[in-house]
């Protein structure tokens, strides 16, 4: 009986690992193309914010939306939000409520409705992309593209991020099904 339990647990672990690698290490993503606005999600500011800023400067969208930019631990995001004009694109900074990806998607929905945007490019980390797409697609009436900046330079965090995202996905599919 113990041997069977160990086999089942081992098989379950390897199934989860394969699925987690597919969803959180090699997720489907969109190539950046012209949209109404770019939304950079909070967290991992170095890679997410830098890449979103590059895309805005390249003219991918006339608006850059920075989640939690005013309170960011990353000085360039705070600076941009403190001085939002004169960049060649509009800057909108907000703190999501609730402070979560769902809160960010809801805030983006509010902005999209207010400004009549039909498409957004959501910039986030690779491990976060699948859930971000799911939440933004649930909230937006238009079209949300998702683009990954890569995974945090410290790969030691990847297993923890994979477990965390698995738990959060479980919540998104069960108790938190709406926008």
pLDDT tens digits along 9-28? 999 999 999 999 999 999 99
CB atoms near residue 23 (< 10 Å)? 18
CB atoms near residue 132 (< 10 Å)? 23
Judge whether residue 153 has pLDDT over 60: no
Domain residues of the chain, as ranges? 30-173
Report the alpha-carbon distance of residue 128 to residue 151 in Å, rounded.
9
In this structure, what token pair is assigned to residue 114? 């207010």
Q: What is the pLDDT of residues 93-147, one digit of tens each?
A: 999 999 999 999 999 999 999 999 999 999 999 999 999 999 999 998 777 999 9
Q: What percent of the chain has pLDDT over 70?
A: 96
Q: Which residues contact 62 (CB under 8 A, 6 or more apart)?
A: 36, 37, 89, 90
Q: Which fold has domain 30-173?
A: Rossmann fold (3.40.50)
Structure confidence at residue 14 (pLDDT):
94
Q: Which residue has the higher pLDDT, 60 or 151?
A: 60
Q: What is the pLDDT of residues 43-57, one digit of tens each?
A: 876 688 999 999 999
pTM of the model: 0.90
Q: Which residue has the higher pLDDT, 71 or 65?
A: 65
Task: Average the pLDDT over 142-155 and give the result.
Answer: 76
- Contact call for residues 29 and 22 (beta carbons, < 8 A): no
Structure confidence at residue 29 (pLDDT):
92
Report the alpha-carbon distance of residue 150 to residue 27 in Å, rounded.
11
Structure confidence at residue 151 (pLDDT):
58
> Average model confidence (pLDDT) for the chain?
90
Structure confidence at residue 44 (pLDDT):
73
Structure confidence at residue 152 (pLDDT):
54
């Amino acid at each position: 009986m113990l041997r069977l339990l160990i086999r089942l647990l081992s098989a379950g672990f390897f199934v989860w690992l394969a699925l987690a690698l597919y969803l959180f290490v090699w997720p489907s993503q969109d190539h950046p193309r012209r949209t109404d606005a770019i939304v950079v999600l909070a967290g991992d500011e170095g890679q997410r914010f830098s890449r979103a800023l590059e895309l805005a400067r390249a003219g991918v969208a006339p608006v850059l939306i920075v989640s939690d930019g005013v309170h960011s631990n990353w000085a360039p995001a705070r600076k941009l939000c403190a001085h939002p004009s004169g960049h060649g694109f509009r800057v909108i900074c907000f703190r999501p409520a609730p402070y979560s990806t769902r809160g960010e998607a809801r805030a983006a929905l509010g902005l999209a409705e207010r400004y009549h945007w039909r498409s957004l490019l959501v910039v986030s980390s690779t491990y976060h992309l699948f859930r971000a797409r799911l939440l933004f697609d649930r909230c937006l009436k238009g079209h949300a593209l998702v683009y990954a900046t890569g995974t945090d330079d410290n790969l030691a965090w990847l297993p923890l991020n994979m477990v965390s995202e698995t738990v959060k996905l479980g919540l998104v599919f069960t108790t938190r099904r709406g926008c």
